[in-house]
Structure 1
């Protein structure tokens, strides 16, 4: 078949779409592509995040801000404040006022059949990267999952996959991003099943595992993570059970307090009538 002409390219494209739609193997192959893309997203965002920390806080190359010592107090203060001000001004200048909030992967699967705006997903990823890069105490997980799931949604729509398969690909993208970020593909798969898909469906098992392991492998090949060796831990005994239960209870209470505190702070900012673009600087 001649694929040099536009008609030949169109026939090849239609054939690939039919193959993906009609075959579980095709969906697994797409999930592998999504996994590679998610791994690349994680690597790129981590490099940019580390570069911002090294530039703003003058930390040595390759060291992490959270464990760095001897930082200048002026940089520790001015980084989040001036960075928050720059962030607010960028949001005010470039984002549309009154626009609908971006759809995250969970909402996309629950309400929109897996359809996500790639532009909005990129904006959320950049916002997360910017705020974390200037020292805000937020993680990159939301940016990872938003960008990877948005790209997965776009790929699924390019191949005109069915609604259920599009939801599956979005879950694969989000789970793969988490798996690559923490080098924990099983944890990423559970994240995708529980939070994004909302079910442990047997047909989704192979694509999800393919995406998360492919993403983790991509991340390890391009930017291997080296962890300190932990000391050996003895097997817990019955005498440790009360302490573990108490620790679990305390952690649950702390988690509730943090979530409730975030809600109260947001409500306080709304009542303060402080302009939206100044709030990140106040937070910093």
Structure 2
């Protein structure tokens, strides 16, 4: 088993400066090519599975439009196939493959190299199942490929363990930057989430790898933003809404993390994985007959939220169903990220809160609420406030004015998320004390 070491991945000592610089650039190139290949594979499977725009893998027709145009019977068959792929694939990987090494574990390990075959299979299974309609995210797969490549490149180049770990972290950020065209977001993710430092050396390496990866991926994916949103105007009601509702996103994010963490912890690894996976995705396939917005990682539902196309009732229904199928898919043994699912949950919840608010105090724009809620929920649920804000800006190219309510909501959400465990512990202590007092009083009455 790999063990963590005390040496920091941002140590100022570089044994081979030129080699380190070359491997840094190669990591960006490799992560860009890997992320682009995974994204193109995802698009190809989506188009073939649902039978839309097959001649153009990266076209203007969205996944939601393709799923909506497919018949309910086709949606069900595709999700049944998704369940078989997920169940058989991960069951075989756990039984015959080498133990997986997470990116966080690799960054903190003495030898940060990840197993090649197991990591590749794990990444491909995530891409294939999300393309077929799994409600989990696709962002973990390109991050794993970037880290896998970086670890082996750095080791082959004879770099120090500190250098290797730093580049493994940068490879993950570069993979994220490539598939979503978010070079700054990828770099900040490395610094805030994986390394926990903004030291100059780490900052430069993260920026170089993420920028190179995003530019390389343009050749296959284009230089486009993820979400097209209207221009929102900042006003007083929106600022007040963000300040008041921010804590609600933190509370919702805390519940979501507890739910999904429990689901992952109880996921099967053996033969039951196949049965549970097929049943889970068959149920999702049935739901798609009425709610095609549930297919995939949630990008379609988020887009509808941002442009104001969702009413409060439909948003509430989608929110409940999406949280349910995200948790059930993890519980059934499927794997995937929670970045886009979390962003979508926040956007849907914000549409509901905005609708309730407008019923009593009209004046807030649902689309602006959705964008703010997406950032607030994402910041708390993944504990990455800076990264969440940067990602929202790069995803949507939102105008600068929207930063003020977004930052307010993120602050309120994060503070609430971190306060909930303390409040829950205090309530538990009070309840136990009251219970003990009641028992003591009953004993005294009995003795009298």
Please give the range of the TM-score, normalised by the shorter of the 2 chains: 0.7 to 0.9
| 2:171 is the counterpart of 1:178 | no
Distance in 2 between residues matched to 1:192 and 1:38, nearest whole Å? 14
Distance in 1 between residues matched to 2:157 and 2:187, nearest whole Å? 23
1:161 Cα offset (Å)? 0.7
Equivalent residue runs for 1:132-211 within 5 Å: 132-211=130-209
| 2:46 is the counterpart of 1:48 | no
| 2:269 is the counterpart of 1:276 | no
Equivalent residue runs for 1:240-251 within 5 Å: 240-251=238-249
Structure 2 equivalent of residue 72 of structure 1: 71
Write the deviation string for residues 224-280 of structure 1: whole angstroms up to 9, x where unpaired: 04457533222x34443221123432332332232222234456665xx97122222
Equivalent residue runs for 1:228-239 within 5 Å: 230-234=229-233, 236-239=234-237
1:168 Cα offset (Å)? 1.0
Write the deviation string for residues 108-127 of structure 1: whole angstroms up to 9, x where unpaired: 11234423222222122112
TM-score by length of 1: 0.82
Write the deviation string for residues 30-64 of structure 1: whole angstroms up to 9, x where unpaired: 11111111111111111111111111111223333
Contact 1:40 1:218 in 2 (8 A): yes
For residue 148 of structure 1, give the secondary structure of its aligned residue in structure 2: helix
| 2:120 is the counterpart of 1:127 | no
Distance in 2 between residues matched to 1:229 and 1:195, nearest whole Å? 27
Contact 2:181 2:224 in 1 (8 A): no
Distance in 1 between residues matched to 2:80 and 2:179, nearest whole Å? 27
1:139 Cα offset (Å)? 1.7
1:207 Cα offset (Å)? 1.6
Structure 2 equivalent of residue 254 of structure 1: 252
Bigger-Rg structure (1/2):
2
Say if 1:29 and 1:247 are closer, same or farther in 2 by CA, change over 3 A: farther
* Structure with more contact order per residue of length (Cα contacts < 8 Å, sep ≥ 6): 1
1:186 Cα offset (Å)? 0.9
Equivalent residue runs for 1:98-109 within 5 Å: 101-109=99-107
For residue 113 of structure 2, give the secondary structure of its aligned residue in structure 1: coil
Distance in 2 between residues matched to 1:274 and 1:260, nearest whole Å? 26
Structure 2 equivalent of residue 27 of structure 1: 20
Distance in 2 between residues matched to 1:59 and 1:76, nearest whole Å? 13
Say if 1:225 and 1:85 are closer, same or farther in 2 by CA, change over 3 A: same
Distance in 2 between residues matched to 1:233 and 1:208, nearest whole Å? 31
Gaps of 5+ in 1: 1-20
Structure 2 equivalent of residue 85 of structure 1: 84
1:102 Cα offset (Å)? 0.7
Contact 2:45 2:132 in 1 (8 A): yes
Distance in 1 between residues matched to 2:27 and 2:179, nearest whole Å? 15
Equivalent residue runs for 1:221-232 within 5 Å: 221-227=219-225, 230-232=229-231
TM-score by length of 2: 0.54
Contact 2:143 2:173 in 1 (8 A): yes
Distance in 1 between residues matched to 2:63 and 2:103, nearest whole Å? 29
Contact 2:98 2:118 in 1 (8 A): no
Distance in 2 between residues matched to 1:128 and 1:58, nearest whole Å? 21
Gaps of 5+ in 2: 1-13, 282-448
| 2:37 is the counterpart of 1:39 | no
Counterpart pick for 1:115 among 96, 113, 116: 113
Number of residue pairs the alignment of both structures matches: 260
Question: What value does the CA root-mean-square deviation take over the aligned residues?
Answer: 2.4
For residue 199 of structure 1, give the secondary structure of its aligned residue in structure 2: coil
